[in-house]
Amino acid sequence: MSTEEEIAQRLSLLQLAETLGNVSEACRRRRVSRTQFYEYRRRFQARGLEGLKDLPPVHKSHPLTTPPEVEERIIALSSKHPSWGCTRLSNRLKHEGTPISSPTVQRILIKHGLGTGYHRWLKLKERQATEAIQLTEEQAAFMEEQSRAFGERRVQA
């Protein structure tokens, strides 16, 4: 269906509702939801016929998307300090000059499979086994604490 046909159909829907004096009946006849009708009416009132055209799709790279280098910094910080949560990581990045909210940090950690301390522990344990990395005191303490807690959970189960 061409754009002109869509505009004509939407305009006829608005005119039918005006003629009938009943939005619900007009929507039933044209098989359009009332929500969609009110959206068409709002756009028509604001921009005329131009408002009845379909809007272009939202671009995949939104200008407020977190840059890849910030994501990499979040992952690096969470690997270096696995016991830190999203709020502490967010505060650290703000202190370094990168303003980012803790929910955004959490979303990025989840996207990379590091959403919880347990997941970060598993990832650190995996890296230690495959790469033979040298653990910092903080990482070693975190690993020991998680191992003890994990062992206690297994006994109770």
d(CA 77, CA 138): 13
Query: Considering the chain, what is the average pLDDT of its residues?
Result: 85
Closest CA to 139 of 123, 155, 154, 153: 123
Q: What is the pLDDT of residues 2-22, one digit of tens each?
A: 588 889 999 999 999 999 999
d(CA 143, CA 18): 69
Measure the N-to-C terminal CA separation of the chain; round to a whole number of Å: 61
pTM, rounded to two decimals: 0.53
